[in-house]
Amino acid sequence: MSYGIIYLTWKTEVVGSVTTATMEWNVRVVVAMAACAMVVAEIVRITRLVWWRPRKIQMHFQSQGIRGPPYKLFLGNAKEMMKMMQQASSNPMGYFSHDILPRVLSFYHQWTKIYGSTFLLWFGPVARINIADPQLVQEIFSVRSDDYEKIEANTALKKLEGEGLLNLKGEKWAQHRRIINPAFHMENIKDLTIPAIATSATIMLDKWKNWTESGRNEIEVSEEFQTLSADIIARAAFGSSYEEGKRIFTMQAEQMLFAGEAFRKVILPGSRFLPTKRNLYQWRLDKEIKKSLSELIQRREQDLQVGGTGSDLLGLLINAKATSFEEKRKKENRSSPVKVEDIMEECKTFFFAGRQTTSNMLTWTIVLLAIHKEWQHMARKQVLEVCGENVPDKNSVNQLRIVDMIVNESMRLYPPVVAMMRRIKKEVKLGSLRLPPGLELMIPILAIHHDPILWGEDANEFNPARFSNGVSKAAKHPMAFIPFGLGPRTCIGKNFTLMEAKVVLAMILQHFTFEISPSYVHAPTVLLMLHPQHGAQVIFHPLNQS
C-alpha cells in the first residue's frame, strides 16, 4: 500500500514536472517565434523603406524623363551634398561677385548642369524633387496649395522657431492667421510700428555717431542689425512691456546661438535627450523663457481688463484669446480656443522670423550700397528731398521709390530664405509630372532669383532699375520674385519687414555715407538664413564730415 502511494506520488510529480517543463518550453517557443516575426517584419519594413520604395520612385520618375544623382542605401545623397557644401564654403568668393548660387546651393548648381533644373535627389530614403519653374511654383503655392503641406521642422528647430504660424497646419493655422492678420495690415504697420522702428533706429545711429566721432569708423553691421531687429520686435510685440519682452527675447537669441552651433556639427541621434552640461543649460533657458512669457501674459491680461492698451501684438493675441473662449462658450466657433501656450509660441515665432529676416535683409542691402555707391548716392538724394532731416513717416516712406527698388533688388540677389519645402498630401499632376503622395518638393528661391532666362543676362548683377515698373514686371514671369513665398502661406510679416527695412535704410542714408571695408570678405552662406560667413564690415562717415 505504502509503495503504491509512493509510486503514484512519484509519477504525479514526474508527469507534473514534465508537463510544466513542456508548457514552459512551448511558451518560450511562442515568444521566440513572435520575436522572430517581429524582427522579420521590421527587416521587411526597413527594406521597403530604404530599398524597395526608393527603387520604385526612381523607376516612376525615370519613366517621365526625370533623373538625378543615384540613390545610395540609407544615406541617399546627403553625404555628397555635405561634401559639396563644405568645399564651396571653405573659400571666399571673387571680389564682390553676386553669382552666389554655386557657393550657397552648390549641390543644386552642380546637379542642374547634369540633370536639368527639375531633378530628383535623396535625403536618406526620403525623395525630394526640385521645382524651379515659376509657373509650377505658382500652382504649388497658390492655385492648388491644399494639395501641398508645409514640412514640419525638426524638434530642435521647432523649439527655436516656436510652434506658431511657421509650423502650424490645418484649422489651427487658419485660426491663428485670422487672429494675427490685422496686426500686420499695412495701415496698422504704418500707424503702430513706424514710431517703434524710428525709436530703436535712433538709438543705434546715435551710438554709431559716437563711435565715428571717436575714430571708430568700421562697423560690423550684421551684429548691429541683429540687435536692432530684436529691439524693434520687442517694442512692436510687447509695447508697454517692452523691457520685459526684450529680456525674454535676449534669452531666445541665446538659444539661437546654440541652434546655430548645432547646425555646424554632426549630432548623434538622441543626444539632445542626454543630460549634458549644454543640454541642461538649454533646458533651463527654455523653462525660464516659458515662465517669463507666461507671467508677462498674465500681467497684460489683468492690465487689459482695467482698460490697458491692446494695440501691440501681445495685446491683440490676448484679446483674441478672450474672444475665442467666449465664442466656444456660446458654441459659435468649432475651433479650439486660443490658449496662453499658443500666445507664447506666437511670440517666439515673431521674434525668430522677424529678427532673422530683417537683420539679414538690412545687412545685404547695406553691403550692396557700400559696393555700388552710385545707387547709394541716388537713394540718399531722394531721401533728403522727401524727408529732409525728419524721421520718415507713413506718408513720406511711400515716396521713397529708389529705396524700394534697392530693397527688392537686395532680396532678389540675397533672399533671406534660399529655398522652401513642401510635401505632397495625395497623388497630383503638376504640369506634365505625376507626383506620388509623400514626395517632398524643394523650391530653390535663390536659383529662381538668379535665373538668366527669367531676369536677363545681367541676372547676377546689382541693378535696382529692373524694379522701376514694379515687382510683377521686373522679370519675364510675374512669379519669378518670391522672397516671402506665395499664396495663403505668404509670410505674414512681409509688410512689417519691408517697412522696417525701408525706414531704417532711409535713416542711415540721412546721417551717413559708407563704403565697404578692406577687411570685408565676401562669403555668403546659409545658417538658418543667408548671411555673411565672416561678418559684414562697413566704414561709415557722418554725412556732414564726408
Q: pLDDT by residue (tens digit) across 318-354?
A: 776 656 545 555 555 555 666 667 776 777 677 777 7
Q: What is the mean pLDDT of the chain?
A: 83
* Residue 394 dihedral angles phi and psi, to the nearest 5°: -65, -20
* Over residues 424-429, mean pLDDT: 94
Q: Helical H runs in 400-493?
A: 401-413, 445-449, 452-455
Q: Are 44 and 50 in contact (CB under 8 A)?
A: no
134 pLDDT above the threshold of 60 = yes
Q: What is the pLDDT of residue 309?
A: 56
247 pLDDT above the threshold of 70 = yes
Q: How many helices (H) and strands (E) does the chain have?
A: 20, 12
Q: What is the pLDDT of residue 452?
A: 97
Reported in sequence order, the residue ranges of 168-323 that DSSP labels E, i.e. its strands, are 218-220
Reported in sequence order, the residue ranges of 344-401 that DSSP labels E, i.e. its strands, are none
Whole-Å CA distances, 432 to 131, 435, 480: 12, 10, 20
Contacts 24+ apart (CB under 8 A), 224-230: 225/358, 225/359, 225/360, 225/362, 225/363, 226/253, 226/355, 226/359, 228/200, 228/201, 228/204, 228/359, 228/362, 228/504, 229/354, 229/355, 229/356, 229/358, 229/359, 229/362, 229/500, 230/351, 230/355
Q: Lowest-confidence range among 8-17, 28-37, 105-114, 458-467? A: 8-17
Q: Are 425 and 147 in contact (CB under 8 A)?
A: yes
What region does 69 belong to: left with phi over 0, alpha with psi -120 to 50, or beta? beta
Report the candidate in 390, 385, 383 with the shortest Cα–Cα distance to residue 369: 383
Q: Are 367 and 458 in contact (CB under 8 A)?
A: no
The grid coordinates of residue 534 equal 565672416
Q: Lowest-confidence range among 20-34, 79-93, 346-360? A: 20-34
Q: What is the pLDDT of residue 546?
A: 45
Q: What is the pLDDT of residue 538?
A: 98
160 pLDDT above the threshold of 50 = yes
308 vs 47, residue with greater confidence: 47
Q: Are 196 and 232 in contact (CB under 8 A)?
A: yes
- What pTM value is reported for the model? 0.84
Range from 20-34, 252-266, 465-479, 492-506 that averages highest in pLDDT = 465-479
Beta bridge partner(s), residue 122: 127
Buried b (16+ CB within 10 A) or exposed e, 105-115: bbbbbbbbeeb
| pLDDT band (50, 70, 90) for residue 4 | low
What region does 491 belong to: left with phi over 0, alpha with psi -120 to 50, or beta? beta
Range from 146-150, 186-190, 334-338 that averages highest in pLDDT = 146-150
How many other C-beta atoms are found inside a 10 Å radius of the C-beta of residue 66? 17
Percent of the chain whose pLDDT exceeds 90 = 48
Measured CA to CA, the distance from residue 446 to residue 451 in angstroms comes to: 9
* Over residues 286-312, mean pLDDT: 71
| pLDDT band (50, 70, 90) for residue 163 | low
Range from 139-148, 254-263, 290-299 that averages highest in pLDDT = 139-148
Q: What is the pLDDT of residues 451-486, one digit of tens each?
A: 999 999 999 999 999 999 999 999 999 999 999 998
Q: What is the pLDDT of residues 266-298, one digit of tens each?
A: 455 556 667 677 777 777 877 887 777 777 777
23 vs 139, residue with greater confidence: 139
| pLDDT band (50, 70, 90) for residue 10 | very low
Beta bridge partner(s), residue 129: 120, 441
Q: Lowest-confidence range among 148-162, 168-182, 190-204, 259-273? A: 259-273
* Over residues 180-191, mean pLDDT: 67
